[in-house]
Chains A and B, each alone.
Chain A
Amino acid sequence: MLLLAGFGVGYFIYIGQYEPENAFAKFPFKYGLDIQGGTELVYQADTSTVSASEIGQTMDALRDVIERRVNLFGVSEPVVQTEVANSLSGAPLQRLIVELPGVTDTQKAVELIGQTPLLEFKTERPDGSEKTAIQDAYTRAQDILKNPDLTDELRNAVLASDPLLSQDPAYVLTDLNGSKLQKASLIFDSRTNEPKVLLTFTDEGRKMFADITRANVDKTVAIYLDGAPISTPVVREAILDGNAEISGSFNILEARELVGRLNSGALPVPISLLSTQTIGATLGESALHSGVKAGLVGIIIVAFFLFIWYRIPGLVATVALSIYIAIMLAIFKLIPVTLTAAGIAGFILSIGMAVDANILIFERMKEELKKGKDLSDAMHDGFARAWLSIRDSNISSMLSAIILFWFGTSLVKGFALTLGIGVVVSMFSAITVTRTFLFALGTHGHGKVVKFLFGNGIR
Chain B
Amino acid sequence: MFIIKHKNFFFSVAILLVLSSLFSIAFFRPWNMGIEFTGGSLLEVSYPDGRPVAETLRTNLAILNWTGTQVQETGDTGYIIRTKDLTEQERQSLMSVVSDNSATKIDVSRFNSIGPTIGSELRSKAGWAILFVIVAIVLYIAFAFRGVSFPISSWVYGLVAIVALVHDVLVPAGIYVALGHWNIDVQIDVLFVTAILTILGFSVHDTIVVFDRTRENLKLRTWKEFDVTVGHSIEQTFARSINTSLTVLLVILALFFVGGETTKNFALTLAIGIVAGTYSSIFVASPLLVAVEEWQRKRESKHSKKK
Contact = CB atoms under 8 A, between A and B. Distances in A.
Nearest to A360: B240
Interface stretch (A20-28, A136-144, A243-251, A395-403): A395-403
Interface in A337-358: 341-342, 344-345, 348-349, 351-353, 355-356
Contacts, number: 224
Contacts of A283: 44, 109-110
A398 B303 CA distance: 43
A301 B118 contact: no
B240 A291 contact: no
Interface string B106-119: 01111111110110
A282 B109 contact: yes
A302 B251 contact: yes
A408 B36 CA distance: 13
A274 to B, nearest CB: 5
Nearest to B213: A389
Interface stretch (A46-54, A104-112, A214-222): A104-112
Given A280-B107, A400-B200, A393 B205 contact: yes
B112 A290 contact: no
A301 B237 CA distance: 23
Contact of B270 (A85, A279, A349, A363): A349
Interface in B256-291: 257-263, 266-267, 270
Contacts of B87: 273
B113 A275 contact: yes
Given A352-B252, A411-B191, A277 B111 contact: yes
A355 B91 CA distance: 47
Contact of B132 (A107, A293, A407, A457): A407
A389 B252 CA distance: 23
Given A389-B208, A393-B209, A411-B190, A302 B250 contact: yes
Contact of B201 (A352, A385, A401): A401
A72 B298 CA distance: 77
A85 B121 contact: yes
Q: Which of B140, B206, B255 gathers the greatest number of chain A CB atoms within 10 Å?
A: B255
B104 interface: no
Contacts of B257: 294, 297
Interface in B189-211: 190-191, 193-194, 197-198, 200-202, 204-206, 208-209
A297 to B, nearest CB: 4
24 contacts: A275-B115, A278-B108, A278-B112, A280-B108, A287-B260, A291-B260, A293-B259, A297-B257, A305-B246, A342-B194, A342-B263, A345-B266, A360-B209, A360-B240, A363-B237, A388-B212, A393-B212, A399-B201, A403-B129, A406-B129, A408-B125, A409-B190, A411-B191, A411-B194
Given A274-B117, A287-B261, A400-B197, 6 more contacts: A275-B113, A349-B255, A367-B236, A396-B201, A399-B201, A404-B133
